Chain A
């Protein structure tokens, strides 16, 4: 086992002085400098962090900037280069880059330009980061700090917390929401009471050692987020009795994860963890700023004065298509996270959610996240320039007519087909081919075309993914998870999640007659999971691949199977009608089911 070095740095009482916190920050910096071979912090920024710009440096840059380091010129250039040469699909990642640019003292228009397209694009996290940027004085066309704060308030659950999905508040997300709302704590009464309720939840959920657990796993990252949140409000976590349990403070609990070399681990007794280390670092910076009477971690001291937003150029850059889409997507994509249709239940799934939450927190989105919002943003790219003109026409009309539900292009398509038929008829008349059978043929072709348009349903990826299908007559709830444990270690493909969990245990509402395949489609739509199902009718469904993992990828006997309540049904997934409380698992097998402890249906 690793020896944990508990450095006795406590002075008197519970508190820590600014110098002691500075030592903690210095310990992390010393470790990182040693790791990258740099001699001092400036060399580290110019070398290692600039090289890793856009990949992992952003939170270090924000922490360093707020800790008083000034010269970030080479990093700023590196990040601009990175942004210029990469297409960044994730809204939260764009916002993270904007915050980092701001922290690096950049006056680039990127910071304000991305706001309209990013806020609200992937649920609550994009609003939190967006609000941080707005708090720095930047502005955009569609949102104001007030409107985003209002949205965040409306997302609060009854227990006083916030979460990515489900019915109960999550420590990390609650703390992060409070960080974003903190500047309005004294100004707005509704924010004040909402934050107070959130603090109550955080106080209630604190463990006896002063730390926090997220979905059953004690970890330093949750504590770090709470520390940043409290510091943003000006609360000293070592003085406030609400956050001292059995004489232990949040910082005490975080130090139990400190390794001998200055780094931090994710679980007690574990190895060095980058995420835990960076979150510990910026939370200490936030605490130090609070002790020294400076502002929130995310209101950047070193930011450039904001010039008047150039609204006309921003509008000119976005085409009609995208502006039509953003209007509706703000409404539709909020649904899966704010509706109570999904909740994480068991412990095994919960740990997966933790990793997803924390990675969203550090912005290293889509590395190990499974089934959560960062996954959506990574796996669904929007229609690109290669999309045909017909598709973009469909996008415009569907966004305009039915608010993202799709199908709005149909009247136009039918009119076009009938028009083409009429034109052909006129042409036949003009050419003298006036046999009545010619016109019967044209009529039949037009009818076939119309039928095809009516039975198909074309939607843009942006409209489809992330929007939950509505279940107005729900008769029950089932849970489903998708795992590929059996392939772990057999391939280094980047789309295979490290923990084998593609979708953690997630609850879905069902209507009468809903089958296993319907729920799988729901999951694919809500969480942006790639599904390749073949077969035309419902009882002929064959699921060939999930999340790019296909049948036969791992031998002749490999493929996807499903279990309901632990039993392997001998029916098609499109035929298996669900009942309230059923537990569905989609599992990848390499041995025709023999590696899954299968119990067969009677």
Chain B
């Protein structure tokens, strides 16, 4: 029995694309709620209580995104208050909460995606199709974690040079801006150097062969089939307009059909699939340990 991250990259990719695709292209609040809750749950199941401060950042991002919409859109019947002659409505606020749930949920899915899908796996999935695409993808996906590492290095170097001796907010902000400026310069340069370096080594000049460490087993096949089946139910609900929902001018859930509810349940099952696998594996692992 393998944990979810050890499944075949193709199966994992198909599952991620199904989950993220539905979250991005179906705006139904129930789907958004399932997506956000599932994404946060999946991330914490895999990482435990680490990354505490990043959760705080995403909570803040959620609040900002949710509150921005009612300031921009003034559609909706229930006027909460009037700001500079423009009505701020409950419907626009709820719409903002919905969009924020979508964005933050998808961001969380991608955090898990970059953790599970290492460069090696991405090259394995996309490398045979298009080496260039695979290279760009793996470079893009490793960019952010690499920036964070690099920023820490630069910041440490600056500290060692005595540039953060003043302990106050203004100098702190200025110091961070300097670090940001340094790493963005470095990132631009690094991108070109990496590309040049890969070309110099002959990457993409001929057909690429690769050593596959992964094997598409029967379990992978079953997992992919279940994923596609559940995705099919959601797609059918979307295609028949059963997953419709109206925010403006007033909240109307009555347009959501019975098939839509089936779609939400199917999406919930899809999201929980790897969490089941992970829990099952860890329970079995503890059980085996206890026997030793």
Chain A residues at the B interface, C-beta cutoff of 8 Å: 379-381, 383-384, 386-387, 391, 394, 433, 435-438, 440-441, 455-461, 463-465, 495, 521, 524-525, 530-534, 545, 548, 550
B155-173 vs A, Cβ < 8 Å mask (1 yes, 0 no): 0000000000011111100
B199 to chain A, nearest CB (A): 44
- Chain A residues with CB under 8 A of B72: 534
Please tell me if the beta carbons of A461 and B169 are within 8 angstroms of each other in the complex. Answer: no
- Chain A residues with CB under 8 A of B90: 384, 386
Please tell me if the beta carbons of B84 and A386 are within 8 angstroms of each other in the complex. Answer: no
Please tell me if the beta carbons of B168 and A435 are within 8 angstroms of each other in the complex. Answer: yes
Please tell me if the beta carbons of B81 and A437 are within 8 angstroms of each other in the complex. Answer: no
The number of chain B residues touching the other chain, given as a range, is 20 to 34
Please tell me if the beta carbons of A530 and B74 are within 8 angstroms of each other in the complex. Answer: yes
- Chain A residues with CB under 8 A of B168: 433, 435-438, 441
Q: In the complex, A438→B86 CA distance in Å? A: 36
Extra A-B contacts (5), CB below 8 Å, given A437-B170, A530-B75, A548-B77:
A438-B170, A455-B84, A530-B74, A532-B73, A545-B74
Please tell me if the beta carbons of B170 and A440 are within 8 angstroms of each other in the complex. Answer: yes
Please tell me if the beta carbons of B82 and A459 are within 8 angstroms of each other in the complex. Answer: yes
A391's contact among B81, B84, B87, B166, by CB below 8 Å, is which?
Answer: B81
B71 to chain A, nearest CB (A): 10
Please tell me if the beta carbons of B82 and A530 are within 8 angstroms of each other in the complex. Answer: no
Please tell me if the beta carbons of B87 and A461 are within 8 angstroms of each other in the complex. Answer: yes
Q: A459-B81, A495-B249 are in contact. Are A437 and B75 (CB under 8 A)?
A: no
Quick check: is B248 within 8 A (CB to CB) of the other chain?
Answer: yes
- Chain A residues with CB under 8 A of B82: 458-461, 463-465
Please tell me if the beta carbons of B79 and A521 are within 8 angstroms of each other in the complex. Answer: no
B248's contact among A384, A461, A463, A548, by CB below 8 Å, is which?
Answer: A548
Please tell me if the beta carbons of A433 and B167 are within 8 angstroms of each other in the complex. Answer: yes
- CB contacts under 8 Å to A, within B80-111, are 80-87, 90
Interface CB pairs A-B, < 8 A, 10: A383-B79, A387-B81, A435-B168, A437-B170, A438-B170, A440-B170, A460-B81, A524-B85, A530-B74, A532-B86
Quick check: is B118 within 8 A (CB to CB) of the other chain?
Answer: no
Please tell me if the beta carbons of A532 and B85 are within 8 angstroms of each other in the complex. Answer: no
Please tell me if the beta carbons of B167 and A548 are within 8 angstroms of each other in the complex. Answer: no
- Chain A residues with CB under 8 A of B86: 531-533
Please tell me if the beta carbons of A550 and B74 are within 8 angstroms of each other in the complex. Answer: no
The 3 A-B residue pairs with the shortest CB-CB distance in the complex, in nearest-first order: A435-B168, A461-B79, A548-B249
Q: In the complex, A117→B248 CA distance in Å? A: 28
Quick check: is B78 within 8 A (CB to CB) of the other chain?
Answer: yes
Q: In the complex, A386→B251 CA distance in Å? A: 14
- Chain B residues with CB under 8 A of A437: 166, 168-171
Q: In the complex, A496→B131 CA distance in Å? A: 55
Q: In the complex, A545→B72 CA distance in Å? A: 12
Please tell me if the beta carbons of A458 and B83 are within 8 angstroms of each other in the complex. Answer: yes
Minimum CB distance partner of B168 in chain A: A435
Q: A461-B87, A530-B75, A531-B74 are in contact. Are A435 and B80 (CB under 8 A)?
A: no
- Most chain A CB inside 10 Å of its own CB: which residue of B78, B79, B248: B79
Q: In the complex, A436→B168 CA distance in Å? A: 8
Q: In the complex, A452→B203 CA distance in Å? A: 55
B167's contact among A435, A436, A440, A521, by CB below 8 Å, is which?
Answer: A435
Q: A495-B249, A521-B85 are in contact. Are A381 and B79 (CB under 8 A)?
A: yes
Please tell me if the beta carbons of B75 and A548 are within 8 angstroms of each other in the complex. Answer: yes
Please tell me if the beta carbons of B75 and A545 are within 8 angstroms of each other in the complex. Answer: yes
- Most chain A CB inside 10 Å of its own CB: which residue of B74, B75, B78, B82: B82
B95 to chain A, nearest CB (A): 13
Minimum CB distance partner of A395 in chain B: B81
Please tell me if the beta carbons of A384 and B75 are within 8 angstroms of each other in the complex. Answer: no
Q: In the complex, A165→B76 CA distance in Å? A: 27
B162 to chain A, nearest CB (A): 16
A533's contact among B74, B79, B80, by CB below 8 Å, is which?
Answer: B74
Q: A384-B90, A433-B168, A441-B168 are in contact. Are A532 and B74 (CB under 8 A)?
A: yes
Q: In the complex, A456→B82 CA distance in Å? A: 10
- Chain A residues with CB under 8 A of B83: 456-458
- Chain B residues with CB under 8 A of A550: 75
Q: In the complex, A384→B73 CA distance in Å? A: 19
Please tell me if the beta carbons of A461 and B80 are within 8 angstroms of each other in the complex. Answer: yes
Q: In the complex, A386→B76 CA distance in Å? A: 15
Q: In the complex, A464→B90 CA distance in Å? A: 16
- Chain A residues with CB under 8 A of B73: 532
- CB contacts under 8 Å to A, within B139-182, are 166-171
B41-85 vs A, Cβ < 8 Å mask (1 yes, 0 no): 000000000000000000000000000000011111111111111
Please tell me if the beta carbons of A458 and B74 are within 8 angstroms of each other in the complex. Answer: no
B222 to chain A, nearest CB (A): 45
- Chain B residues with CB under 8 A of A380: 79
